[in-house]
Amino acid sequence: MAKSVQSADAKTVKEWYDRNEILLVDVRETSEFELEHIAGALLLPMSKFDPEIFPVIPGKKVVLHCAIGKRSEAAGKMLLGEGHPGAIHLTGGLDAWKAAGFPTEVQILPPVKKPTQPVFLCPPPGSILAKEYLIPLNISAADLSENIGISLNATDALLKGEAPVNVELSLRLARYFSTAPDFWVHLQLDHDMEQARHKLGEEIRQKITPRTAQ
For residue range 57-114, list pLDDT tens digits in order: 778 889 999 999 889 988 888 888 888 877 899 999 999 999 999 999 875 555 656 5
CA distance 60 to 73: 19
Can you tell me the mean pLDDT for 169-183? 92
- The pLDDT of 150-177, averaged and rounded, is 95
Q: What is the pLDDT of residue 97?
A: 96
> In this structure, are strands 61-65 and 22-26 parallel, antiparallel, or unpaired?
parallel
Going from N- to C-terminal start, the domains of the chain cover: 7-99, 125-203
CATH 3.30.559.10 matches 125-203? no
Count of C-beta atoms within a 10 Å radius of residue 154: 15
**CB contact at 8 A, 116 and 145:** no
**Class level of CATH domain 7-99:** alpha beta
pLDDT tens track for 109-146: 556 565 556 667 788 999 989 988 999 889 999 999 99
Taking alpha carbons only, the member of 94, 38, 37, 41 closest to residue 71 is 94
Predicted pLDDT at 1: 38
